[in-house]
């Protein structure tokens, strides 16, 4: 099996965006050390809209410092053989930098909230900003907040940027809140497939490749355990990032009384589930496992669990790869 460890490299989008050091630089440096120890490549889906905004505000001292820190780290990631991919959070279009901090407006959170020509401009502009830093184009895409639908709305923009690989879908994923909206209930229960205009409908002759994020069904017991672990031992179980999530309270409560569709993830204590997800993928004879995590949401415990997971998977003769062709 090919295993892809992917990380959405970004700030938080709740009331506090957090700092670049704690949400991005420090946890990513730790990830690079772990990857080096095991000699494996990682994939970073970089929130390029944030980079565009930083670039617009380089006259602000903090923005200049943050832009330089991120640019340096992205170049290091490329030099170390990790893949940089395009992650698009279009709500950056409506954000402001005021009194030394980001004022986020997530009313238009999805690409579907913009016209097709705006989508084209956004994707092309964000992609170019990333190319200017890393010196080469990206070949893989992940929509911000999994909001990749309707795909027909963003298809042309991706084609125009020669991006034919998406990794936004997870089996049975569903979310309908004021910001998020996606429905992957009809997606194939497979690790990858080709498609044309609808990422959930397999089309053997399709132009695009979906590399699905591996799904995981989580019982309320896990969330209870997570809640108590974070309260009793925050140093080990609480995320390193110092901002807060864009919350959907209804969804959070639901996690405590019924099992929910999630995905393979190394964020915080979720990383403890990776070995059992891998075993399940093996039983299903799948040829890939795609893990989606965020540097901002990693906790001290995540690195220990990731270390164990990588060792276990390598022992089982699985390989860690990027999506680069
Ligand atoms: Zn994101």
Provide the CATH number for the domain around residue 149: 3.20.20.370
How do residues 81-128 score in pLDDT, each as one tens digit? 999 999 999 999 999 999 999 999 999 999 999 999 999 999 999 999
The domain total for the chain is 1
The DSSP element (H or E) to which 187 belongs, if any, is: none
Q: Are 322 and 77 in contact (CB under 8 A)?
A: no
Ligand 1 centroid to residue 292 C-alpha, Å = 10
Is residue 86, in this structure, part of any structural domain at all?
A: yes
Residue 241 belongs to some domain of the structure: yes
User: Does residue 325 fall inside a structural domain?
Assistant: no
Give distance in angstroms: CA of 283 to centre of ligand 1.
Answer: 30
Ligand 1 centroid distance, CA of 316 (Å): 31
Map tokens 């986020």 to a residue.
104
User: What distance in angstroms lies between residue 9's CA and the mean position of ligand 1's atoms?
Assistant: 7
Is there a domain that residue 121 lies in? yes
Residue 283 domain-assigned (yes or no): yes
Residue ranges in 11-60 assigned as alpha helix (H): 20, 26-38, 48-56
Task: Tell me if 138 is assigned to some domain.
Answer: yes
In angstroms, the CA 43 to CA 28 distance is 11
- pLDDT of 211-227, one tens digit each? 999 999 999 999 999 99
Residue 295 lies in a domain: yes
- 325 pLDDT more than 70: no
- Per-residue pLDDT, 213: 98
Give distance in angstroms: CA of 143 to centre of ligand 1.
Answer: 7
Q: Is there a domain that residue 174 lies in?
A: yes
Phi, psi (rounded to 5 degrees) for 187: -65, 150
104 CA distance to ligand 1 middle (Å): 14
Domain membership of residue 282 as a residue range: 2-320
**Spatial CA neighbour of 161 closest among 123, 199, 196:** 123
The model scores a pTM over 0.85: yes
Q: How far is the CA of 8 from the centre of ligand 1 (A)?
A: 6
Distance (Å) from CA 120 to ligand 1 centroid = 19
């Amino acid at each position: 099996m090919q295993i892809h460890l992917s990380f959405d490299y970004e700030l938080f989008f709740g009331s506090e965006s957090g700092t670049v050091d704690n949400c991005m630089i420090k946890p990513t440096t730790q990830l690079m050390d772990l990857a080096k120890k095991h000699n494996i490549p990682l994939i970073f889906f970089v929130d390029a809209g944030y980079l565009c905004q930083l670039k617009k505000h380089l006259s602000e001292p903090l923005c200049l410092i943050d832009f330089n820190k991120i640019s340096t780290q992205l170049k290091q990631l490329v030099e170390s053989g990790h893949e940089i991919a395009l992650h698009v959070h279009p709500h950056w279009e409506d954000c402001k930098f005021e009194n030394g901090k980001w004022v986020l407006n997530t009313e238009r959170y999805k690409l579907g909230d913009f016209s097709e020509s705006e989508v084209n401009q956004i994707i092309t502009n964000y992609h170019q900003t990333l190319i200017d830093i890393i010196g080469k184009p990206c070949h893989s895409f992940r929509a911000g907040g999994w909001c990749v639908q309707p795909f027909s709305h963003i298809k042309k923009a991706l084609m125009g940027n020669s991006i034919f690989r998406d990794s936004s879908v997870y089996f049975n994923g569903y979310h309908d809140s004021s910001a998020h909206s996606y429905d992957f209930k009809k997606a194939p229960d497979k690790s990858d497939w080709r498609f044309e205009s609808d990422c959930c409908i397999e089309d053997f002759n399709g132009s695009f490749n979906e590399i699905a994020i591996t799904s995981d069904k989580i019982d309320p017991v896990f969330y209870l355990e997570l809640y108590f672990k974070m309260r009793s031992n925050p140093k080990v179980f609480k995320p390193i990032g110092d901002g807060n999530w864009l919350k959907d309270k209804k969804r959070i409560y639901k996690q405590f009384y019924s099992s929910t569709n999630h995905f393979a993830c190394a964020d915080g204590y979720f990383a403890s589930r990776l070995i059992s997800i891998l075993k399940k993928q093996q039983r299903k004879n799948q040829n890939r496992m795609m893990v989606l995590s965020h540097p901002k949401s990693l906790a001290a415990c995540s690195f220990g669990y990731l270390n164990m997971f990588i060792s276990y998977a390598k022992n089982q003769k699985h390989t860690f790869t990027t999506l680069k062709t």
